[in-house]
Amino acid sequence: MFDKLKRLLKNSAIYTLGSLLSRATSLISMPVLTRYLAPGEYGILSVVSSVTGSLGFIYSLGLRASATRYYYDLDSEGERKDYFSSLLFFSTGTASLLTLLLMIFGDRLLAPLLKGEVPFYPFIAVALGSRFLQVVGLLPNTLMRVREQASLYVTVDVVRDISVMTLSILFVVAGGMGALGPLLASLLVSALAVSYFLRYLRPYLAFRFHWAPVRDSLYFGIPTMSERLCWWILISSNRLFLLHYVSLPAAGIYSVSSSVGLMLQLIGASINSAWTPFFYAVARDENKAEARRLISYSATYYTLVIVTFALVLAIFAREVFHILAPVRYLAGLPIVPWIVLGSMLETLYDIPSRGLYLMKRTRVVPLIMLAAAAVSTAFNFVLIPRWGMMGAAWATILGYAVMMILTFRASQRVHFVPYDYVRIGKIFVLGGMVYFAATWLGPDAFLPGLLVKAAVLASFPLALYLTRFFQPSELRRAREVALTVLRNRRSPFGE
């Protein structure tokens, strides 16, 4: 048992590191690309990503989730070879047919969606080629996960993302390809990845096709597509609304502004990788009352950490934005704090959602996501025509708020946790006060503004202390740790 837990923690750490490295590539490349791409060109990339992201659900058909689930039901290597061969033939066949139809009819079908501002050829066509090639990688990625080849999975993923980032910068900066550069980079790397994936798959294939396992996988996988579709609506669909009701450059500027929120999501993902196993371990190992007390206690500090990082990004939004993008993107600066607020709600969603997964009440999750997506879509229609990018940010916040509230209520019904609402309330109230004080007092000049904002931000823990957020036992423990550190510094060789 200990060996299994040790292996789980090791693989979790590897996946977390890989996820952070992969997502960080977009942040690393952004300061370069935004200085060579006009907002309209970045808008093309944003719209193309949104369109192909929506088509991605049709390409995958939920087969990745199915393969992960059914792998453990197959008793022999022969059955697994038949299964994966059947899925590979079916997925590549349907993807080929879909790509062919879209290449022929896509220009006319997507014309109303693209509003004539994003040419189907070459932009959407190149992205569709990448999407088709990526279908081949679905099954190898699944096999790497279920066979616990975490290091290999992460290595392939990170190398692919770094390759796309490097070629994108090369094509844009040296090649002068504009918005087409990153799309061609993705297509080229996807084509190279296919050759590796096919070699990896070869020992796991029998080159036979059976309809029954494909049918069962579709029955299992297609329903899971609804949750992913709702996430796409919450995260990416507003680019299409901005294209229709504002402009193509607005979609590009909004995407750059959203990257600040991505920073908070990266932090949240790393924390959640530790929170999730802790949550399940506590629920299993402790008695019910003690488990819920520990979960409540840790949720308070989970919230404090996320709110603190959100404060940093919101208060220093101007400074962060100047690093990510040049002056021509500054129209997106006012929406950054709102985007950070939405990302904060999305990240905090992980706290109550664990209760639903623990109690195996996940049937309500797609319904919650559907409600959140519907609210976000409705407010996109209402707010974007009048408020533009700001309306898109507000609509996203409302969608995340609905998701958070419904998830919290559903989770508390099946797995009640006595959250410390007083302490959590202090975090939000004092955090809001610190943010408004920093934005009001901070001058526009870079260095003075930086110093004033840093001083105001430093008052956050002091305000928590003065309002008795920290418990006496926590303060005693903090003093003990501080004294131990000081003693170790004074006596580096021990006492």
pLDDT at 487: 78
User: Residue 14 above 80 pLDDT?
Assistant: no
- For residues 120 and 181, membership in a common domain is answered with yes
**Contact assessment for residue 441 and residue 452, using Cβ atoms and an 8 Å cutoff:** yes
Q: Give, as one character, the DSSP assignment of residue 362.
A: T
Contacts (Cβ under 8 Å, ≥6 apart) of 94: 59, 61
pLDDT at 286: 75
Please give the Cα distance from 443 to 452 (Å, whole number): 8
**Is residue 482 a part of any domain in this protein?**
no
User: Residue 101 above 80 pLDDT?
Assistant: yes
- For residues 278 and 323, membership in a common domain is answered with yes
Mean pLDDT, to the nearest integer, of 77-85? Answer: 88
Please give the Cα distance from 407 to 368 (Å, whole number): 7
User: Residue 217 above 90 pLDDT?
Assistant: no
Please give the Cα distance from 5 to 464 (Å, whole number): 37
Q: Would you tell me the crossing angle of helices 336-348 and 389-414 to the nearest 10 degrees?
A: 20
Count how many domains the chain has.
2
pLDDT band of 453, cuts 50, 70, 90: very high
User: Residue 275 above 80 pLDDT?
Assistant: no
pLDDT in tens, 107-120: 999 998 898 899 99
**Six-digit token pair at 11?**
């693989």
**Is residue 493 a part of any domain in this protein?**
no
pLDDT at 490: 62
Alpha-carbon torsion, ordered 95, 98, 99, 101, to 10 deg: 160
Range of lowest pLDDT (80-89, 164-173, 429-438): 80-89
**Six-digit token pair at 156?**
């392939």
Q: Using the 3D structure, point to which of 236, 252, 269 is the last residue of a domain.
A: 236
The runs of H, that is alpha helices, within 415-445 are 421-441
**Is residue 229 a part of any domain in this protein?**
yes
User: Residue 200 above 70 pLDDT?
Assistant: yes
User: Residue 274 above 70 pLDDT?
Assistant: no
- For residues 214 and 287, membership in a common domain is answered with no
- For residues 123 and 259, membership in a common domain is answered with no
**Is residue 479 a part of any domain in this protein?**
no
Q: Give, as one character, the DSSP assignment of residue 60.
A: H
Q: How many C-beta atoms lie closer than 10 Å to residue 108's C-beta?
A: 9
pLDDT in tens, 25-73: 888 899 999 999 999 999 999 999 999 988 888 888 888 878 877 787 7
**Six-digit token pair at 93?**
């066949």
- For residues 45 and 131, membership in a common domain is answered with yes
**Contact assessment for residue 464 and residue 470, using Cβ atoms and an 8 Å cutoff:** yes
**Is residue 456 a part of any domain in this protein?**
no
- For residues 209 and 351, membership in a common domain is answered with no
Mean pLDDT, to the nearest integer, of 271-278? Answer: 71
pLDDT band of 7, cuts 50, 70, 90: low
Range of lowest pLDDT (36-40, 308-312, 414-418, 491-495): 491-495
Cα–Cα–Cα angle for 106, 110, 111, rounded to 5 degrees = 110
Contacts (Cβ under 8 Å, ≥6 apart) of 202: none
- For residues 213 and 254, membership in a common domain is answered with no
**Six-digit token pair at 453?**
């904002």
**Is residue 27 a part of any domain in this protein?**
yes
pLDDT band of 12, cuts 50, 70, 90: low
**Contact assessment for residue 126 and residue 180, using Cβ atoms and an 8 Å cutoff:** yes
The gap from C-alpha 454 to its chain's centroid, in whole angstroms, comes to 28
Please give the Cα distance from 280 to 276 (Å, whole number): 6
Mean pLDDT, to the nearest integer, of 273-279? Answer: 71
Q: Give, as one character, the DSSP assignment of residue 286.
A: S
- For residues 89 and 144, membership in a common domain is answered with yes
pLDDT at 1: 40
pLDDT band of 494, cuts 50, 70, 90: very low
Q: Using the 3D structure, point to which of 419, 444, 476 is the last residue of a domain.
A: 419
Average pLDDT, the chain: 88
- For residues 219 and 98, membership in a common domain is answered with yes
**Contact assessment for residue 417 and residue 351, using Cβ atoms and an 8 Å cutoff:** no
User: Residue 491 above 60 pLDDT?
Assistant: no
- For residues 55 and 178, membership in a common domain is answered with yes
Please give the Cα distance from 270 to 266 (Å, whole number): 6
- For residues 248 and 229, membership in a common domain is answered with no
Return the amino acid letter for 39. P
pLDDT in tens, 242-272: 999 999 999 999 999 998 888 888 788 777 7
- For residues 178 and 253, membership in a common domain is answered with no
pLDDT at 122: 95
Please give the Cα distance from 82 to 90 (Å, whole number): 12
Mean pLDDT, to the nearest integer, of 169-195? Answer: 96
Mean pLDDT, to the nearest integer, of 331-335? Answer: 95
Please give the Cα distance from 172 to 449 (Å, whole number): 34
Contacts (Cβ under 8 Å, ≥6 apart) of 298: 275, 278
Contacts (Cβ under 8 Å, ≥6 apart) of 379: 391, 394, 395, 398, 399
| Residue 453 main-chain phi, psi, to 5 deg | -65, -40
Mean pLDDT, to the nearest integer, of 407-419? Answer: 94
Q: How many C-beta atoms lie closer than 10 Å to residue 275's C-beta?
A: 18
pLDDT in tens, 218-248: 887 877 677 778 888 988 999 999 999 999 9
**Is residue 438 a part of any domain in this protein?**
no
| Residue 28 main-chain phi, psi, to 5 deg | -70, -40
**Is residue 162 a part of any domain in this protein?**
yes
What is the span of the domain harbouring residue 326?
240-419
Contacts (Cβ under 8 Å, ≥6 apart) of 57: 225, 228, 229, 232
